[in-house]
């Protein structure tokens, strides 16, 4: 099927309507563009889950703080469209800010407590921005399934919460993080790293694995394991925002490993903020 690109809601929904008339199920992959192999992996998952894949590309101003990188966020539309075409995507929605947030737009979807912790502590309003745009994209598309990466683990939890709370009839699928061969999670923001920072960046995942091993071995307390992880990252040159052990679904604080857990980290290398996470199962 040929790739259809829609810039406005009317033509996007017209194309979706035609697919529905043909009895096709749709998987939506929301993105902010600057696509890399991690996004293409989401598309591959999406293809397994529905007849056709729709991808949205929108750098959402509502999820960037005043001092964040909205203006310098990488925008590579032509290349993105080529990659999506090659990956077998049917429909791409590239709305403008005016299309998604027309004049007078004033409703914000609050991500609630799950959006106020961890990333929310350091990026005020970030998850309300994500919640608002994802809700709109889901309601405009009404897909059977939507695919998000586990790389942004808290985002995935926030979106699952919204969909449950607002009765949006869509299945949310979390796809495993794609990593470089040295363990660094793929991210559009990796492009900001200097060569020297890039050589240090894999230590983030390496440290998550080391802390997970410490926690599982129970040779040290939870607090000791986390403190050791923060010291290790600091020695490598990271400035750590948080390294936390949380319940895997609600992200509530966790003292012992008696339930499925996630270890989540956010740390700076120079001016670039990296996040990552790892699942820890119970035996």
DSSP 179: B
> For ligand PAF, which is the closer residue by CB, 34 or 211?
34
Q: Tokens 């993080």 identify what position? A: 177
Contact 270, 254 (CB under 8 A): no
Residue 148's contacts (CB-CB under 8 Å, 6 or more residues apart) are 30, 42, 155, 156, 159, 172, 173, 174, 175
Interface residues with ligand PAF (CB under 6 A) are 30-32, 60, 63, 130, 133-134, 152, 155
Nearer to ligand PAF, 57 or 233 (CB): 57
| Minimum distance from residue 256 beta carbon to ligand PAF (Å) | 31
Nearer to ligand PAF, 73 or 238 (CB): 73
- Bridge-based pairing state of the strands 91-93 and 52-57: parallel
Q: What is the closest distance, in whole angstroms, from the C-beta atom of residue 63 to ligand PAF in the complex?
A: 6
For the CB of residue 147, give the shortest distance to ligand PAF in the complex, in Å: 10
Q: How far is the CB of 31 from ligand PAF (least distance, A)?
A: 5
Q: Is the dihedral of CA 168, 263, 32, 116 positive or negative?
A: positive
Q: Are 92 and 84 in contact (CB under 8 A)?
A: yes
Q: Within the chain, what is the greatest distance between any pair of CA atoms?
A: 60
Nearest to 265 by CA among 225, 235, 228, 226: 226
| Active site (annotated) includes residue 39 | yes
Determine which one of 34, 39, 118, 128 is catalytic.
39
Nearer to ligand PAF, 32 or 225 (CB): 32
Catalytic center residues: 39
């Amino acid at each position: 099927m040929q790739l259809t690109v829609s810039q406005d809601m009317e033509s996007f929904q017209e194309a979706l309507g035609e697919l529905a008339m043909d009895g096709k199920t749709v998987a939506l992959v929301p993105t902010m563009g600057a696509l890399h192999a991690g996004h293409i992996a989401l598309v591959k998952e999406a293809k397994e889950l529905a007849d056709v894949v729709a991808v949205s590309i929108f750098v959402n101003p509502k999820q960037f703080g005043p001092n964040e990188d909205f203006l310098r966020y990488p925008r590579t539309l032509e290349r993105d469209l080529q990659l999506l075409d090659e990956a077998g995507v049917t429909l791409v929605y590239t709305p403008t800010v005016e299309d998604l947030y027309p004049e007078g737009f004033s409703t914000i979807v609050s991500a609630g407590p799950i959006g106020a912790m961890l990333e929310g502590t350091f990026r005020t309003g970030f998850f309300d921005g994500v919640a608002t745009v994802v809700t709109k994209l889901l309601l405009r598309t009404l897909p059977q399934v939507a695919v998000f990466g586990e790389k942004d683990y808290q985002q995935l939890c926030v979106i699952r919460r919204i969909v449950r709370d607002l009765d949006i009839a869509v299945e949310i699928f979390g796809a495993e993080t794609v990593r470089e061969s040295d363990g660094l999670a793929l991210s559009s923001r990796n492009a900001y790293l200097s060569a020297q920072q890039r050589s240090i960046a894999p230590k983030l995942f390496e440290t998550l694995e080391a802390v997970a091993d410490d926690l599982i071995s129970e040779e040290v307390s939870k607090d000791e394991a986390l403190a050791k992880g923060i010291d290790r990252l600091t020695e490598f040159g990271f400035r750590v925002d948080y390294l936390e052990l949380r319940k895997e679904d609600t992200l509530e604080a966790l003292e012992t490993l008696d339930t499925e857990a996630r270890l989540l980290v956010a740390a700076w290398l120079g001016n670039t903020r990296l996040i990552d996470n790892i699942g820890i199962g119970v035996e």
